[in-house]
Amino acid sequence: EAGVAQSPRYKIIEKRQSVAFWCNPISGHATLYWYQQILGQGPKLLIQFQNNGVVDDSQLPKDRFSAERLKGVDSTLKIQPAKLEDSAVYLCASSLGGGDEQFFGPGTRLTVL
């Protein structure tokens, strides 16, 4: 069984630029999560989808971050414009349903200069 795929693996941008991350979850998983993990901290949930609907986005900085999950499969997370404090690893995970075991992708390491 293929795991959760993410791209790119690394990205370096300058502040005020835009960036987008892509995630392909495990086939059949209804729930998809995007996390931000700042160095030395645990993963912080940014947004959680159930199929193509948003379950929780209370910690998503909506003035600059956006995410979509068209057709309830792949998902894209965008930052526009980026700030220095957005430097982090962005993790995508999926699960059969909310409250189930989450399977994580390898993450995208973003550096904002």
Partner 1 sequence: AQRVTQPEKLLSVFKGAPVELKCNYSYSGSPELFWYVQYSRQRLQLLLRHISRESIKGFTADLNKGETSFHLKKPFAQEEDSAMYYCALSRPTNAGKSTFGDGTTLTVKP
Place of tokens 């999950």: 69
Q: In whole angstroms, how close is the CB of 57 to partner 1 at the nearest point?
A: 10
Q: In whole angstroms, how close is the CB of 98 to partner 1 at the nearest point?
A: 3
Residues engaged in binding partner 1 (CB under 8 A): 3, 30-31, 33, 35, 40-45, 48, 50, 55-56, 58, 91, 93, 97-99, 101-107
Q: Which is nearer to partner 1, 82 or 105 (CB)?
A: 105
Q: Which is nearer to partner 1, 19 or 91 (CB)?
A: 91
Q: Which is nearer to partner 1, 25 or 43 (CB)?
A: 43
Q: How far is CA 84 from CA 17, 18, 53, 94, 96, in A?
A: 11, 12, 30, 28, 34
Q: In whole angstroms, how close is the CB of 79 to partner 1 at the nearest point?
A: 21
Q: What letter would DSSP give residue 13?
A: E
Instruction: Kindly report whether the peptide bond that precedes residue 25 is cis, defined as omega within 30 degrees of 0.
Output: no
How far, in Å, CA of 11 to CA of 19, rounded?
8
